[in-house]
Amino acid sequence: MTLQAAPRGLRSWQLGAREAIPLLGGYIPVAISFGLIAVQAGFTGWEAVLISTLVYAGASQFLFVAMVAAGAPLWFVVVMTLLINARHVVYGPNIAPWLSSSRWWPWLMHGLTDQIFALSHVRLPQLPAPDRMGWFVGASLVAWFSWIGGTALGAVAGKELTQRWPLLAEVMPFALPALFLVLLAPKFASRLWAITLGATVVVALLFAFYGMKNAAIPIAAVAGALVYYGLSILSRDRVRRGGETKDG
């Protein structure tokens, strides 16, 4: 992808903030739903906002609230909410080569959600090293504040909002797949990657369609890795056999 570094006059954090705007389409409607569900489950609006501020992990927040409301043992609630985010452990190492040795980075990882990872994985390598932290701070703050703000809105007026603009809540989340597609598009130039990514997308889509949204991401990624390494071995074998035929 030929994305450019910060245009003249635009600071790195401003560029990050601007590039995170498509995430709002996916974040705000979900955050509004979370605020609404948390209040319905017996939490106050402030508690819902606090959960979004401190935990800041979509699926596990929904699970946390639902399990507490259902009266599950608290140790089990904690284990399950952490397990559901286990995929996050591969995000930090994947962007590590582009991060400086600043001691702020580990704390900034609070903002490393699925979507911020996807954006950073493509964008950080394209930015000059001194701009990377500013860009990450700008992007992750926009995403974090939209999540917190959306939760507050959902807690206060979620029911009214979803009744008045049901169509908006249905349309806005399409910003997420559109963003992911733009981030992946340059990879489709290689045949190996096109087949691998295509297989990963199909597996994830099928699992999500059958209601296994959280399992879908790690399972599809593993399936994609099998396709990638399978195809790599096949093409290496073909090249070797071609070489042997020539030699023979």
Partner 1 sequence: MDSKLWLALLVTAVGTLMMRALPLLWMRRHLVRKQAANPLDAMPPWLTVLGPLMIAAMFGVSLVPASSTPAAWLATAMGVLVTYVVWKRTQSLGWPVFAGVAVYGAVIVLGTATASG
Q: Which of residues 173-232 bind partner 1 (CB under 8 A)?
A: 173-185, 187, 193, 196-197, 200-205, 207-209, 213, 216-218, 220-221, 224-225, 228-229
Residue 45 touches partner 1, criterion: CB under 8 A: no
Which residues 148-177 are close enough to bind partner 1 by CB under 8 A?
167, 169-177
To partner 1, the closest distance from the beta carbon of 157 in angstroms equals 20
Please identify, using beta-carbon distances, which residue of 190 and 243 lies nearer to partner 1: 190
* Cα distance between residue 188 and residue 194, in whole Å: 4
When asked if residue 114 is in the footprint of partner 1 (CB under 8 A), the reply is yes
Of the pair 42, 242, the CB lying nearest partner 1 is at 42
> Binding to partner 1 (CB under 8 A): which residues in 49-108?
50-51, 54-57, 60, 64, 68, 74-75, 77-78, 81-82, 85-97, 99, 101, 105-107
Does 136 bind partner 1 (CB under 8 A)? Our answer is no
Give the DSSP H/E element, type plus range, for residue 79: helix 74-83
Residue 239: count of CB within 10 angstroms of its CB: 10
CB atoms within 10 A of CB 154: 28
C-alpha–C-alpha distance, residues 52 and 145, integer Å: 10
Q: How far apart are the C-alpha atoms of 175 and 181, rounded to whole Å?
A: 10
Report the residue number, 3 or 234, with the smaller CB distance to partner 1.
Answer: 3
Provide the token pair at 197.
Answer: 């990514």
Residue 66 in tokens: 């639902």
Tally Cβ neighbours within 10 Å of residue 24: 19
